[in-house]
């Protein structure tokens, strides 16, 4: 087992690196059954992940989520077996710490909701428009600011963005098929 990372000494203000993770078919564990856990689970459903939620009880709405396995009970370290990514959304700081520590020891990505120091990844504010994803993060410092910025950016996205993304993808494939690189290519403003 790897030693846990000393986040208090490792953090820098610029330590985040934004990526889009393909979760389709990957096992994701959510611990907690409250309204916040529900919101996080709803966001994960769109990713196609294989989601298991563990909690003693569940807020109204969990039962309507398709493809989500609900396990009624308290969190146990064995719940992490096979998990690729974890969202800890409990209201118990001791359990949150336990989940984070166990994830760190197993090399599993963990987001402890509203506790950036216990996160190996941050969940940004997200707007999905087909293949176009707008994600804004404040590295956990101000989720409300991230949401505000995301809403303003989303308002600037044209309605036909999904069609436009498909058109540009087809043009990109044609260029690649000709042997030309698209990496350093100058693209005209498509909007």
Cα–Cα distances (Å) from 11 to 1, 4, 108, 148, in that order, read 22, 14, 18, 25
* Structure letter (DSSP) for residue 158: -
For residue 148, the model assigns a pLDDT of 92
Q: CB atoms < 10 A from the CB of 28, how many? A: 22
Count the Cβ atoms, other than its own, within 10 Å of residue 34: 17
What are the pLDDT tens digits along the chain (191 aa)?
Answer: 445 555 555 555 556 788 889 999 999 999 999 999 999 999 899 889 999 999 999 999 999 999 999 999 999 999 999 999 999 999 999 999 999 999 999 999 999 998 888 999 988 888 888 888 888 888 878 888 989 998 999 898 888 888 888 888 888 888 888 888 777 667 667 66
Per the DSSP assignment, residues forming a β-bridge with 28 are 51, 85
In order of their start, the domains of the chain are: 7-123 (3.40.50.720), 133-177 (no CATH)
Q: With CA atoms as reference, report the closest residue to 89 among 46, 58, 126.
A: 58
Q: Edge to edge, what strands does the sheet with 68-72 contain?
A: 68-72, 50-55, 27-31, 85-88, 109-112
DSSP assignment of 138-180: -TTS-HHHHHHHHHHHHHTS-TTHHHHHHHHHHHHHHHHHTT-
């Amino acid at each position: 087992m790897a030693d846990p990372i000393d986040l208090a000494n490792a953090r820098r203000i610029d330590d985040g690196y934004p990526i889009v993770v393909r979760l389709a078919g990957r096992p994701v564990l959510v611990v907690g059954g409250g309204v916040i856990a529900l919101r996080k689970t709803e966001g994960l459903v769109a990713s196609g992940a294989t989601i298991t939620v563990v909690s003693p009880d569940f807020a109204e709405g969990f039962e309507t989520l398709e493809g989500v396995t609900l396990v009624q009970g308290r969190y146990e370290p064995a719940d992490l077996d096979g998990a690729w990514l974890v969202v800890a959304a409990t209201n118990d700081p001791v359990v949150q710490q336990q989940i984070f520590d166990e994830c760190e020891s197993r090399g599993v990505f963990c987001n402890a909701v509203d506790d950036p120091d216990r996160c190996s990844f941050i969940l940004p504010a997200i707007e999905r428009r087909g293949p176009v994803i707008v994600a804004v993060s404040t590295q956990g410092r101000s989720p409300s600011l991230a949401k505000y910025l995301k809403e303003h950016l989303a308002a600037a996205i044209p309605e036909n963005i999904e069609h436009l993304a498909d058109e540009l993808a087809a043009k990109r494939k044609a260029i690649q098929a000709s042997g030309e690189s698209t990496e350093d290519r100058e693209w005209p403003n498509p909007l």
